[in-house]
Amino acid sequence: MKLKGLFSTIIAVLCGLVVLAGYFVRLDLFVSLSRTLIEWAIILTAFAILLGIMNLLLVHFGKIRKKEKGVLYSLILMIALLATFAIGLAAPYFPIVTPVFNFTFRAIQLPVEASLMAILAVTLTFASIRLLQRRFNAFSVIFIITVLLILIGTAPLPFLGSLPMVSDNLRPFLAQVLASSGARGILIGVALGALTTGLRIILGVDRPYGGKNG
């Protein structure tokens, strides 16, 4: 192992141990050290978002310079990004700009994303209609039946309301028993995986920051 890798590994292990000790050992030293390290991580994460925005700008700027396909979209993106960024920077210091900032969000971003979700609703409906035509098997049938039961049990039927046995028994059983059971298994697995990953990083086995196994 090179000195650089050794040094980075030592830093990573120490940081993990300190943060972990901040949870279990309520000493001011560990707690303060733990908070300091976490704050550094938050700053780095925020700066990473900023780096992502800058990278997005450079990529689309390159496309515009090379006159690649979709230059117009890149140009619109850059203009909107720079404008929103400028308004966002000016909003705290210029209260008159705040309504403009809120308007751009409400008038552009919110409807656009909501429209995408509406299109998704249409697409999922179409896919559910053609599911058995494309793939007629037991799992597809189970999937379709489950969808229908959940929809019938969730939404009120016009002029009918809730269907007996479906809304009060079948739908809760599917959503709260079967689905929750599966979700709990997933969550437990995620927790064990996170624990194992944390231990491996603390012990220096995994070095995602660079190194032999990184």
Partner 1 sequence: MAELHCSVCGQSNPEDLEVCQFCGASLLPPPGAGSDPSPAIRPGEQPTRKNTGELEHALPSWLKTLRSGQDENNTPDADPDTEMPGLGKATPPADTSGDASDWLAGLDSAASEDEDEIPEWMAGLGVSTQPSFQDNTSELDNLDQVQPDADLLDLLKNAEADLAPVSGEPARGSLLNWEAPHPTTADLFPPTETNLLGTPAQEKPASEAIPSAHIPDWLETLHSKTSTHEIDPGISREEPPDWLSSLPALQPETPSPAPEFKPDWLSKLQGEGDQAGQESTPQASDPAETPGWLASLGVEAGPSATAVFTDEPAPANEANLETPDWLAQLKSDVKTATEADLHAQEFETASKPFQAEISSEPLPDWLSGIGQQDSSATGAPALVVSGESESPVETGQGAFSLETPDWLSRLRPEREPESVPATQEGNQDDADTTSLPEAELPSWVQAMRPVESVISGSAPSSSEEMGSSEGSGPLAGLRGVLPASPGFGVMRKPPAYSIKLQVNESQHRYAVQLEKMVQDEGKAREVPPVQPKANRVWRWLISAILIGSILLPVLTGTQISPELQLYPSEWARTGVLLNEFPTNSAMLLVFDYEPALSGELTASAAPVISTILLRGTRVALISTTPTGPALAEQFMESTQQDHLSRGTQVVNLGYLAGGPVGIQSFASDPLGTINLTMSGAPAWETLALQGVKQLSDFSAIIILTDNADSGRSWIEQTQADLGDTKLLLIISAQAEPMIRPYFDSGQVHGLVTGLVGGKTYEQSYNTPGLARDYWDSFGLSVLAVEMMVTAGSLWGVVKAWQNQKKNRGEA
Residues making contact with partner 1 (CB under 8 A): 23, 35, 38-39, 41-43, 45-46, 49, 91-93, 95, 98, 101-102, 105-106, 109-110, 112-114, 116-117, 121-123, 125-126, 128-134, 136, 141, 144, 147-148, 151-152, 154-162, 167-168, 172, 175-176, 179-180, 182-184, 186-187
Q: Is the CB of residue 181 less than 8 Å from the CB of residue 174?
A: no
CA 176 centroid distance within chain: 24
Using only the alpha carbons of the chain, give its radius of gyration.
26
Residue of 172, 128, 171, 130 lying closest to 149 (CA atoms): 171
Q: How far is the CB of 52 from partner 1 (least distance, A)?
A: 11
**Of 52 and 70, CB closest to partner 1:** 52
Task: State the nearest-atom distance from the C-beta of 176 to partner 1, in Å.
Answer: 6
Question: Do 18 and 37 contact (CB within 8 A), yes or no?
Answer: yes
* Matching residue, tokens 């303060």: 32
Q: Tell the smallest beta-carbon distance from residue 3 to partner 1 (Å).
A: 29
Q: How far is the CB of 191 from partner 1 (least distance, A)?
A: 8
User: What DSSP character marks residue 96?
Assistant: G
Q: Closest CB to partner 1 among 72 and 133?
A: 133
Residue 205, helix vs strand vs coil: coil
